[in-house]
Structure 1
Amino acid sequence: MTQSFSINGKAPSTLNNYLRCLAHLALHYKQSPETLSVENIEDYLYFCQKQHLTPSESFFKHTIFGLRAAYKVMGMEAKRVVLPQIKRDQKLPTVLSQQEVKRLLKAPKYLKHRLILGILYGCGLRSYELCDLKLSDIDFDRRTVFIAKKKGKVDRYVPLSVHLVRGLKKYIETENPYLYLFNSQVTKDGNPRGLTTNGIRWIIKENRSKIGCNKKVTAHMLRHSFATHLLEYGIDLVSLKELLGHAHIEMTLTYLHVANLPSKAKFSPLDKLYV
């Protein structure tokens, strides 16, 4: 039986592609990639660009990734650093309409589940940020939620909707959560543990079929919808960046391509054809 393996989480099929690219490099110079100079590697990458016309070509990318992985394993950091960076293809996020969000928030049977979905959308949180929320992070008087720094390397406050305030007060009074806003099962030592991302995925999976849309609803789609809807309501980009906890404004600019803004209203020419 062949034993499967992986490096840095890469599947065997991906690793085979990397090894194939390394073999091409070795055959090109008739020597091991380990012994090649930086100039040799740059010449070969230039050759790949010209041969395959574009640096985004799959062969070129896999050559870069294969070399990067190989030099990391061999501890040859200097050669790894000089390799060019490959920009990832930027896909536009899929968002829910406001009506779809309404239907999703009404779908769960239990108040706790409705609140979990409501905070994901109403506060624009990442899944792990919701899981880490403590009772002490909620300020009902100021109607804010404190998000401790993690991704993005910055603490932030996000506004708490009046609808969530009412629901959370009722939930806390009836369920009496401890330490975390949403508790999961306790640890073996009896210590409280926060909600898990798997728990969030389960709640969404149980309810997304009830809203009557063909979109594959995820927790991050609710965050995308939060950002897009705020832009459509007129919030400025800098404020949105702060609410999302983005490290760079370029990440926030993506939502300009998704939002239906009044100043850039889009329409089909077919709508004008029969006017």
Structure 2
Amino acid sequence: MKTIFLRNGEIKRKPFVLLEFPFDEELKELVKTIPGADWQPKLKAWTLPYSDGVTSQLLALFKGKAWLDYSAFKKVEINNQKKAALPEMDAGIAEEIEKFSDWMRNRRYSESTIRNYIHSLGLFLRFTGNKNPAEINNTDLENFHKDYILKNNYSASFQSLVINAVKLYFSNRLKRKLEPIEIERPKNPRLLPHVLSKEDVKAILLAHQNIKHRAMLSLIYACGLRRSELLNLKPQDIDSSRGMLRVNQGKGKKDRLVPISEKILELLREYYRYEKPSVYLFEGQTSGKPYSGKSLENVMNQAVAKAKVKQKPTLHWLRHSYATHLLESGTDIRYIQELLGHSSSKTTEIYTHVSQKSIQKIRSPFDDL
């Protein structure tokens, strides 16, 4: 296992915890689940707000994933703290959270959900002072909401995550419900997807001379793939005779079929003759291992720079653009839902709000003045 080094830091006179480790996609995603985690390019480290219980929090989070070296990390005495630090998690609570983790894993919850839930539950139980879970009631959850979530200005999504984790734990582990009266579910902000013009997409896809880089970006747009779906593809997932691409275990553990055009097949054949991947369709420097997510992001950023696109699109913008361009070309939204692997049509309907075909038909009353 890799080792994560903890050390003290200070930014704008505030104490921070610095996490340093060689790049690892799984560890990076774990760190991102911690509230307040931020990447500092100049320091080449992740920073977390300092708290007295941070070491126990990190030990629980990275258990079985990485070694934690905190030999150079020291407790910081902070005067006039605005909030009381959460206590260290005691052994009994840690064991209970481990049992909850095993319970979710046995019921095939995704690893990302398990990580998020045990982290959220751990925060709540530490807030109560490691109170016996059998003695916890609605008031404890309401106080946590008021004195921790709202006081520290955590996001609406984090609030919902904590409530979901706590309610699942109590309803399935302790067989009783917590129904906090004073807590209303926050309204998540309605964010529209970012969409590129077809001209910008073409410029990005043609920016690289490297055949592998062009093939990866082109396939994401051509089939509306998520990053993880592209990286998990294998050569046998492409059925060229039927013109279909099989996406295995996409988001929500759903399989789906997506049409793949002859144009993209020709590009993939050229790539395959040149690279000859052994296991995954797109492999990194080590044969048989998938291409890394970070490297793929770098490929996208380099293409954007070469194409001189004014915006700063991410890989997911290509998927959004695929869906919107399909809608603008007249494809029924129910088919787009199937192609994207959305469980609900409401998720797909958001593309109607960014489609130029429908919006540009609207005549401004200003034109009639």
CA gap 1:68/1:104 in 2 versus in 1, 3 angstroms: same
Cα displacement (A) at 1:138: 0.7
Deviations along 1:90-109, one digit per CA (max 9) or x if unpaired, are: 21111100111111111111
What are the within-5 Å matches in structure 2 for residues 155-194 of structure 1? 155-186=255-286, 192-194=288-290
CA gap 1:102/1:267 in 2 versus in 1, 3 angstroms: farther
What are the within-5 Å matches in structure 2 for residues 119-130 of structure 1? 119-130=219-230
Using the alignment, how far apart are the partners of 1:175 and 1:213 within structure 2? 29
Deviations along 1:193-239, one digit per CA (max 9) or x if unpaired, are: 11121121111111102223321111100000001111111111211
CA gap 1:64/1:14 in 2 versus in 1, 3 angstroms: farther
Using the alignment, how far apart are the partners of 2:50 and 2:187 within structure 1? 18
For 2:213, the equivalent position in structure 1 comes to: 113
- Secondary structure at the residue paired with 1:4? strand
TM-score (norm 2): 0.57
Matched, 1:215 2:228: no
Cα displacement (A) at 1:127: 0.5
Using the alignment, how far apart are the partners of 1:174 and 1:62 within structure 2? 45
Match of 2:250 among 147, 150, 158: 150
Using the alignment, how far apart are the partners of 2:309 and 2:266 within structure 1? 29
For 1:251, the equivalent position in structure 2 comes to: 347
Using the alignment, how far apart are the partners of 1:220 and 1:43 within structure 2? 36
- Secondary structure at the residue paired with 1:261? helix
Matched, 1:242 2:335: no
For 1:25, the equivalent position in structure 2 comes to: none
Cα displacement (A) at 1:82: 2.9
What are the within-5 Å matches in structure 2 for residues 14-25 of structure 1? none
Match of 1:140 among 240, 257, 271: 240
Tell me how many residue pairs correspond in the alignment. 251
CA gap 1:14/1:151 in 2 versus in 1, 3 angstroms: farther
Cα displacement (A) at 1:157: 0.7
Using the alignment, how far apart are the partners of 1:182 and 1:45 within structure 2? 46
Matched, 1:4 2:17: yes
- Secondary structure at the residue paired with 2:302? helix
CA gap 1:111/1:82 in 2 versus in 1, 3 angstroms: same
Amino acid at match of 2:17: S
Runs of 5+ unmatched residues, structure 2: 1-7, 9-14, 19-30, 37-47, 53-80, 87-127
Runs of 5+ unmatched residues, structure 1: 23-30, 49-54
Identity %: 29
Amino acid at match of 1:89: P
- Secondary structure at the residue paired with 2:17? coil
For 1:51, the equivalent position in structure 2 comes to: none
Could you say which structure has the greater relative contact order, defined with CA pairs below 8 angstroms and 6 or more residues apart?
A: 1
Cα displacement (A) at 1:153: 2.8
Say if 2:277 and 2:288, in contact at 8 Å, map to a contact too: no
Amino acid at match of 1:142: R
CA gap 1:71/1:175 in 2 versus in 1, 3 angstroms: closer
Could you say what the CA RMSD is over the residues aligned between the two structures, in angstroms?
Answer: 4.2
Cα displacement (A) at 1:123: 0.4
Cα displacement (A) at 1:263: 8.0
Using the alignment, how far apart are the partners of 1:269 and 1:118 within structure 2? 41
Match of 1:82 among 153, 176, 179: 179
For 1:100, the equivalent position in structure 2 comes to: 200
TM-score (norm 1): 0.74
For 2:297, the equivalent position in structure 1 comes to: 201
Cα displacement (A) at 1:33: 11
Amino acid at match of 2:355: A
Say if 1:183 and 1:194, in contact at 8 Å, map to a contact too: yes
Say if 1:67 and 1:80, in contact at 8 Å, map to a contact too: no
Say if 1:45 and 1:60, in contact at 8 Å, map to a contact too: no
Using the alignment, how far apart are the partners of 1:166 and 1:209 within structure 2? 26
